[in-house]
Amino acid sequence: MYFYKNEFMNKADIQLSPDDRGYYFGDGIYEVFRVYQGKLYEQDAHMQRLQRTASEVRLTLPFTIEKIGQILTELVAKNKLIDGTVYLQITRGEAPRAHPFPTQAEPIMLAYCTEVPRPTATIHNGIKAITFADIRWLRCDLKTLNLLPNVMAKQAALDNNVQEVVLHREGTVTECSASNLMIIKDGVLYTHPANHLILHGITRAVVLRLARGLEMPVKEEAFTTGQLMEADEAFISGTTVEITPILEVDGRKIGAGTPGAYTRKLQEEFVRTFS
């Protein structure tokens, strides 16, 4: 069961218009929620980010945040989803193709669930990455539909037989194709500051909270690809990947090339936040 515009319906009954501005311009915003044990994880944080993105791109949400929350909860219940994700997208609506904001169009909301288990194998074993130029625009803090650079980056990783890219702007590491990146050096956790160059990940915020709870020093400071290579540990954080160790970048081992002790501790603490 999907939610589209104003109602719950079967996917086969959804009639998408080619005039949807999401389709022409990527003129829309989205969120991906994790569902653990039938409940939306960090719902309030996702809703705040949705509201902020909507406001920054001057898109009026079709419903109040409370109503959207109710719809998503109902969606999870109708689909009997226990373990998976909810995708939520809101576009600026349907109008003949023209750049200016349409005066008549109503924003269009689409939401659906996917049953997907936690990626426990990569969480346990870790992944490899390559460095890749971050060619995105200067509002990476907004969760908008314009994901072509992320798509290109992810495909470059797969073409190079690794699972992820480490994006960098002239050597300064920003984040990954759909996750944030953290390194640990001498017991200190470093990650790019939450400014316009990265998405302010919900999982990133949870991990920083957990690290502080463990009395690990946290520095929200940018670091270079060189510093990444010299790190003791590295991992990515994200709704779907949780905390996944990065073992190798551009063929070079990070630390011992195995998931590190701090990463393991944070993983343990993270599991506690939803179980």
Contacts of 170 (CB under 8 A, 6+ apart): none
Please list the residues that pair with 7 across neighbouring strands: 4
For ligand PLP, the closer of residues 141 and 248 by Cβ is: 141
Long-range CB pairs of 194-200 (<8 Å, 24+ gap) are: 194/141, 194/220, 195/141, 196/138, 196/139, 196/140, 196/141, 197/134, 197/138, 197/140, 197/141, 197/169, 198/140, 198/141, 198/174, 199/140, 199/141, 199/143, 199/175, 200/49, 200/141
Q: How far is the CB of 201 from ligand PLP (least distance, A)?
A: 3
Q: Are residues 4 and 17 in contact, defined by beta-carbon separation less than 8 angstroms?
A: no
Selected binder of ligand PLP within 173, 199, 211, 254 (CB under 6 A): 199
Q: How far is the CB of 180 from ligand PLP (least distance, A)?
A: 5
Selected binder of ligand PLP within 238, 245, 255, 260 (CB under 6 A): 238
Give the span between the Cα atoms of 92 and 101, in whole angstroms. 8
Q: Which two tokens stand for residue 11?
A: 């996917």
Q: Which two tokens stand for residue 161?
A: 């037989």
Give the span between the Cα atoms of 216 and 178, in whole angstroms. 25
DSSP state of 192: -
For ligand PLP, the closer of residues 146 and 258 by Cβ is: 146
Residue 191 touches ligand PLP, criterion: CB under 6 A: no
Site map for ligand PLP, 169-188, x if CB under 6 A?
------x--xxx--------
Residue 239 touches ligand PLP, criterion: CB under 6 A: yes
Residue 43 touches ligand PLP, criterion: CB under 6 A: no
Residue 201 touches ligand PLP, criterion: CB under 6 A: yes
**Catalytic (active-site) positions:** 143
Residue 163 touches ligand PLP, criterion: CB under 6 A: no
Selected binder of ligand PLP within 203, 244, 263, 267 (CB under 6 A): 203
Residue 263 touches ligand PLP, criterion: CB under 6 A: no
Which residues inside 134-153 make contact with ligand PLP, applying CB under 6 A?
150
Positions in the binding site for ligand PLP (CB under 6 A): 32, 150, 175, 178-180, 199, 201-204, 237-239
